[in-house]
Amino acid sequence: MRDTDGPVVGTLIRTATLVVRNARIYTTDSTRPWAEALACDGERIIAVGKEKAIDAVTGSQTKVLDASGRLVLPGFIDAHVHLIWGYELGTWIDLTGRPSLDEVQRRVATHAAVHPEEEILLGHGFDYAALRVSGLPDKRHLDYIVNDRPVLLTAWDGHTGWGNSRFVDRALEAMAAAGREIGEMQRNAATREPTGIFHRAFDITGLLPEVQRRRSLAGLQQTVSMASAVGITTAFDVQVNYEDLAAYDTLRKQGRLTVRIRAAIYHPADSPRSRYSDFLVACRRYDDDWFRVAAIKLYIDGVQETTTAALLEPYANDSTTRGETVYPEADFQSIVAELDRIGFQICTHACGDRGVRIALDAYERAAQLNGTSGHRHRIEHCENLAAEDIARIAHVGVIPCMMPRHSSPDLTARWREAVGPERTRRGFPWRELLAAGAELAFASDWPVAEIDPLIGIHEAVNRRTLEGDPSAHRVSLVEAIAGYTRRAAYACHTEANGGSLEAGKYADLIVVSQNLFDLPPERIREARVVKTVVGGQSVYRAADATGP
């Protein structure tokens, strides 16, 4: 769907409400990439250029942001992030940092002792490879730590859940009530006993009242503030349950929303078509530049690490499988065609090359049936891609949304084992996608990886092969920044208002501690955002930053 609030470019010379001066402004606008200063009137930019030109619109009432010679960039746009997690979980056990099994157990035990009031314990971020158990962990690893209430820990991949026996019991109750298996529960092949692993854990948690009772605006406020502190001014929350959309609206009405949100409604595999009228009502209700709902998130497959991504050829570590798809292909095509017809931008999660192909086929088929829509359908992740589909993505006009950090060798041990060396070598082909003309958008996928776009930019620019050589897939600094600004704006239909610093667009901008263009590439990661401005208003300022 479209932006309603297009840019308004005044012809009269106005007095600025805010000017940014003494800056090295990289605009991302290829016709005039660099500027010294810019001026805003209210929430929009009115001029970008030389100090002198900006002085002419600076009055006695104008606020001045002196950037002290620092780099100013358009606010980052994270095209695939899950800020709603903060709302859904309220509090959780932090299992990031690749803890060992002992350490996971210690953190869970400590949290359980400190929080006797929590009726279910939720944790996030463990890495199965760091646990050093063979295969995936088991419910028994948790049972002797906590057996008085359910525990569910989700892996860093955001999909894989590891529950104790109490959690498995709750999940089985929920499935019995629903009359079907949910969440792709793993069972022991010989005994059929559930192991405690769920390949799509979020489908179960959405059904449990004890998880719903944890929902907390304070948790959402926390994740939104975290995004502001790393310079994100627009977040595409790619998977929000219909029932949770109102949380963003409430936060906004309370004046506490500091990041512009665009949301995609989560479409569980069993969503009846009768739900679509509700989805359309949400799009009409939440439809301005602070909070807009205009997309749908679907899954066609899972993740390589658990052999649930759909591949064209069998897995390297299990030749009996190519992974399953969430829908039979014909069903998926028909769902996509209907969602396209009624006006949604569709974001399909597809990690494997077969998943990507099925998504592309479905998008092409929808265009044949309904005409070319301009919805800019997307494929999320695209980690393995067949060579012939790289050109096709650009040709069909589908947007690949990819996460640079997911390709890092420290996160891909299990991924590489699953797909083998040849598909590893060809994985995450950013360079080829750009060369083919694809509008490649970058994103964090937080909480699956760090939210900081500067970490993503660092990885995109400095990507290396397993042998430690510069990767042929790495991109330039300009391309990496575009992935988090200009191209992300296109992926989110916000390019009329953001993604570059130009007169008429919103004054959504950041000040960075060091000039990324002067830093040796391997030190990009040391830079940090010191100031974030959204719509001409400061929403974040590092403790040691100067200026208003």
Query: Contact residues for Zn ion (CB under 5 A)?
Result: 445
d(CA 529, CA 285): 33
Chain residue at closest Cβ approach to Zn ion: 445
Quote the distance between the C-alpha of residue 253 and its chain's center: 24
All residues at 6 or more sequence positions from 480 whose CB lies less than 8 Å from its CB, including other chains: 404, 442, 456, 457, 460, 461
Identify which of residues 74 and 161 has a Cβ nearer to Zn ion in the complex. Answer: 161
548/545 Cα distance (integer angstroms):
9
Residue 94 neighbours by CB distance under 10 Å: 13
The least distance separating Zn ion from the CB of residue 67, rounded to whole angstroms, comes to 33
DSSP 453-488: HHHHHHHHHH-B-TTSSBPTT---HHHHHHHHTHHH
Query: Which residues, listed in sequence order, are joined to residue 22 by a DSSP beta bridge?
Result: none
Q: Which is nearer to Zn ion, 19 or 201 (CB)?
A: 201
Instruction: Identify the residue whose tokens are 């300009």.
Output: 478
CB of 227 to Zn ion, least distance (A): 15
How far apart are CB 440 and Zn ion at their closest, in Å? 17
Q: How far is the CB of 546 from Zn ion (least distance, A)?
A: 36
Cβ-based nearer residue to Zn ion, 36 or 445? 445
**Could you tell me the strand order of the sheet in which 71-74 lies?**
34-35, 24-26, 71-74, 509-512, 529-534, 537-541
The smaller minimum CB distance to Zn ion, of residues 359 and 501, is found at: 359
Rounded least distance, CB 390 to Zn ion, Å: 22
Query: Which of 156/315 has CB closer to Zn ion?
Result: 156
CB of 480 to Zn ion, least distance (A): 20
What residues are paired with 154 via a beta bridge?
124, 161
**Concatenated DSSP letters for 226-286?**
HHHHTTEEEEEEEEE-GGGHHHHHHHHHTT---SEEEEEEE--TT--GGGHHHHHHHHHHS
Nearer to Zn ion, 3 or 445 (CB): 445
In this complex, which beta carbon is closest to Zn ion, that of residue 240 or of residue 524? 240
Whether the Cβ atoms of residue 293 and residue 245 lie closer than 8 Å to each other: yes
Six-digit token string for 32: 């005039």
Kindly tell me which of 389 and 445 has the beta carbon lying closer to Zn ion: 445
Cβ at position 511, least distance to Zn ion in Å: 29
- Minimum CB distance to Zn ion, residue 80 (Å): 6
Q: Compute CA 340 distance to the chain's CA centroid, rounded to the nearest angstrom.
A: 22
Smallest gap from Cβ 451 to Zn ion, in A, equals 12
Nearer CB in complex with Zn ion: 448/480: 448
**Beta-sheet strand order (sheet of 63-66):** 44-49, 37-41, 18-21, 63-66
